[in-house]
Amino acid sequence: MEIDKTTSTPVWGLRNDVFPSFGARLVQEGNHLHYLADRAGIYGEFTPAQLQILDAVFPKFIKRMEVALRSGALNPREARRFTTEHRGITCEADTCGSFGYVYLSLYPTIVKS
């Protein structure tokens, strides 16, 4: 976890320079992930429409990360970035070799022209 030097608040999730973003640290129990609201934060400002989409896709991303844990795409012993996208939101996740946590960042998908 890093500290945001401008506000002295913890920055949860993966370090990300994309704004707006939602970051969180999930607790890993086997191949299951648990979300703790006090280990999450929103950085920047999402539009109301983006917040609705974020709310809808978050459970789907949790399921995808649990599948990635079962398949080895996410490994608790090895730092390896897992990226997936759904409905215009990108999810980046990594255990950072932490043996029990999955760090994630969700942000609007950047479309390259």
Q: Among 3-17, 36-50, 57-71, 79-93, whose mean pLDDT is lowest?
A: 3-17
Rounded Cα distance, 50 and 90, in Å: 12
Residue 5 pLDDT greater than 60, yes or no: no
Predicted confidence at residue 31, as pLDDT, reads 92
Q: So where are the chain's domains?
A: 2-108
Structure-token pair, residue 14: 């993966």
74, 82 contact by CB (below 8 A): yes
20, 13 contact by CB (below 8 A): no
- The amino acid at residue 106 is L
Predicted confidence at residue 3, as pLDDT, reads 45
Predicted confidence at residue 17, as pLDDT, reads 82
What is the model's pTM?
0.86
> pLDDT tens, 24-65?
999 999 999 999 999 999 999 999 999 999 999 999 999 999
Q: Which CATH number fits domain 2-108: 3.30.70.1230, 3.40.50.300, 3.40.50.150, 3.30.450.20?
A: 3.30.450.20
Per the DSSP assignment, residues forming a β-bridge with 11 are: 2
Measure the CA dihedral 98/100/105/111, to 10°: 80
